[in-house]
Structure 1
Amino acid sequence: MSRTASIRSFKNLMPQIRPVLTGLVLAGLLAGCATKEPPAPPAPPVPTVVQTDIILTPPDEQALKVAMDQLFLVQPNRTVPWISPETGLAGAVKVLRDGFDDENRPCREFHSVITRGNLYKHSIGFLCKQSAGGWEVVDVQTYPLYRHGEV
C-alpha cells in the first residue's frame, strides 16, 4: 500500500474514529477533574472589637484627681494635662471661669477631656469650695463619646 493510499484510508476511517477519540479525551479530562479537590474556602474575617466607652480604672481616677486638685492653682483658660502610667489613659482638665454658687461659695467651671486612641470623652462641670476648705464637684455633664476620624 502506498503512502497516498494509507492517508486516504486513514481519512476514510476518521469519521468512525473521531467520536471514539473525542469520548476518550473527554473521559480523561473529566476523570482528571474528578480527582482534584476543590480549593478550601477563605478563612472568615476576624471580628474587630469596637470600643464604645472609656471607663476609668482606679489608677486613671487617681491621675485625674491629681489634675483636678491642680485646678485650684491655675488661672482660668489654663489646661492641666494628665496621664495614667499604668493604663496609658490620658486627658486634660481646663478651668473655664471662676464664679460663685447660690450659697456664695467660690466655684470654678471646668472642661475635661479623656482620650484613648481615637476616642474622646468630654465633660463640663463645676467645682465649689466646701465650708471645711475642700473642693467638691457639684455638677458635671458628660457628653456622648466622640470617635475622631469617622465620618
Structure 2
Amino acid sequence: MRTFDLAPFYRSTVGFDRLFSLLDQATPDGSTGYPPYNIERTGENAYRISVAVSGFAQGELSIVAKENTLTIKGEKVANENDKPASEVLYRGIAARAFERVFQLADFVIVKNASLENGLLHVDLVREIPEAKKPRNVPIATGAPGAHAIEGTAEKAAA
C-alpha cells in the first residue's frame, strides 16, 4: 500500500487545510465495511445515503449532523432479563454496534431520515446561499468613467 506525504502541500498552500485533511481521511485505515451503504444522487442538488441496518430498531439508531460531518451510530441494547427461547447455533445476522462517518461538502444539509425495510435513508440537499451563487454582471457600453465625471460636473455647476 502506498502512503502519500501531504506535508509539502500544507507548507506551500493557504486555505486548503480542509481539502488535505479529507485526503488524509480517505486513505483506507483497515476499518470494516459494516454496515454496507449506498450513496445516490437523486436530483441536481439532492442526495440520499442508504445504510443497511437490519435488526436495529429506530431507538437503537442515532444520526448527528455537526458542521460538515454526518455520523450514523447503531447500538444494540442488550436486555439481560430476556432469556432466549432457543440456543443460537450460528449467528450470521450481525447485530454489533457501528459508527459510520460521512464528510459533507459545504452547504449540504440533512433534510430528513427514514427507516423502512431494514434500510436507513438519509436525504441530503445542497442549498447554496444567494450570496455564493454565480450572478450575471451586465456589460455597459461606452466609458462608464466619463459619464460619472460629466454627471458630477453638471451637478457642481448647477
Structure with more helix by fraction: 1
Q: Same fold (TM over 0.5)?
A: no
Scaled by the length of structure 1, the TM-score of the pair is: 0.24
Scaled by the length of structure 2, the TM-score of the pair is: 0.23
**Which of the two has higher C-alpha Rg?**
1
